[in-house]
Amino acid sequence: MENIKHQSVVVNGINMHVAEVGEGPAVLLLHGFPELWYSWRHQMLYLASKGYRALAPDLRGYGDSDAPPSPSSYTAFHVVGDLVALLNSLGLDKVFLVGHDWGSLIAWHLCLFRPDRIKALVNMSCVYHYFDPKNPSKKPLEEMRETFGDDYYVCRFQATGEVEEEFAGVDTAELVKAFLSNRDTRPPCIPRGGFQYFAHQNPNPLPEWLTQEDLNYYATKFKKTGFSGGFNFYRCIDLNWELSAPWREAQIQVPVKFVVGDLDLTYHIPGIQDYIHNGGFKKDVPDLQEVIVIPGAAHFINQEKADECSIHIYDFISKF
């Protein structure tokens, strides 16, 4: 870990913290919620050992990157703009791209808007169009509320101020532990005041893939920043859908490998497995070359199955 270097780069009007290690072709790794660049620590060191330059930023609103105050400043357009500006600042014409969770959603948008900057993509957990409504006459949040109810976590995160206050009343380390170690495949529905229970419903020791040092790193950063930056990504779901209308039927035109755990809650959203395995995914992503379902793996797969995911990434990008 001491070989990983850190710098702050001015991009798209904000300061973005970037961790990097290694020399060679660049691999850009994008984290999700509630995570940081640190989520890719294992893959970064592995890729560096294989002759790659691994780059993992804290996305806007997270960690040591700036957090604009307005929720509307967290659209996919803003974040893709940050990343393109980062590539420009570092003098990188094209990169390999890896995403997980919200990082996957941003990665899909980066490939959609700027396929000229991407050599190949390895995405984890969230398929293309993950948040798009099945009924095009409805906005994403409207459909989510009808399908899962107002207590669905995405809907709960819309309550600016209220959910921040609720999170502030829960021990940060316990909250992060609860998210990272969750293995419930049901849609997360948490009523008002329920995050205290959520954080303490699993009093078991840390999973073997998550050390106390790891947990302390996350907790220290989120105690400093709070969770508003992460919530704001969710608060732009409808806005992303509206602004992306010109690309509504557009396909992803880069080579793709998709990796998901069979215990990942995203894999159990109604209709997702049919979409992945029965042609819908391949229609939207015509150069989808591999789909890997890892047995026994839950949502935070790049940490839980770190070695396996590192090998999956390397095996794919080494073809190009």
pLDDT top residue among 204 and 94:
94
pLDDT for 170-202, tens place per residue? 999 999 999 999 999 999 999 999 998 898 877
Sorting pLDDT into bands at 50, 70 and 90, what band is 39?
very high
Listed in sequence order, the residues at least 6 apart from 297 whose beta carbon sits closer than 8 Å to its beta carbon are: 260, 261, 262, 263, 264, 304, 305, 308
Rounded average pLDDT over 14-26: 98
Closest CA to 242 of 77, 113, 125: 77
**Does the structure show a pLDDT above 90 at 205?**
no
pLDDT for 280-302, tens place per residue? 999 999 999 999 999 999 999 99
Q: Which residues are catalytic?
A: 101, 234, 299
pLDDT for 207-225, tens place per residue? 999 999 999 999 999 999 9
Could you tell me whether strands 118-124 and 53-57 are parallel, antiparallel, or unpaired per DSSP bridges? unpaired
What pLDDT does residue 136 have?
83
What pLDDT does residue 73 have?
98
5-318 has CATH 3.40.50.2000 classification: no
Strand order in the sheet with 5-11: 5-11, 14-21, 53-57, 26-30, 95-100, 118-124, 256-261, 288-294
What pLDDT does residue 1 have?
85
Rounded average pLDDT over 40-51: 98
For the chain, domain boundaries: 5-318
**Does the structure show a pLDDT above 80 at 204?**
no
d(CA 105, CA 279): 20
d(CA 115, CA 97): 11
Exposed / middle / buried, residue 213 (Cβ in 10 Å: 0-12, 13-18, 19+): exposed
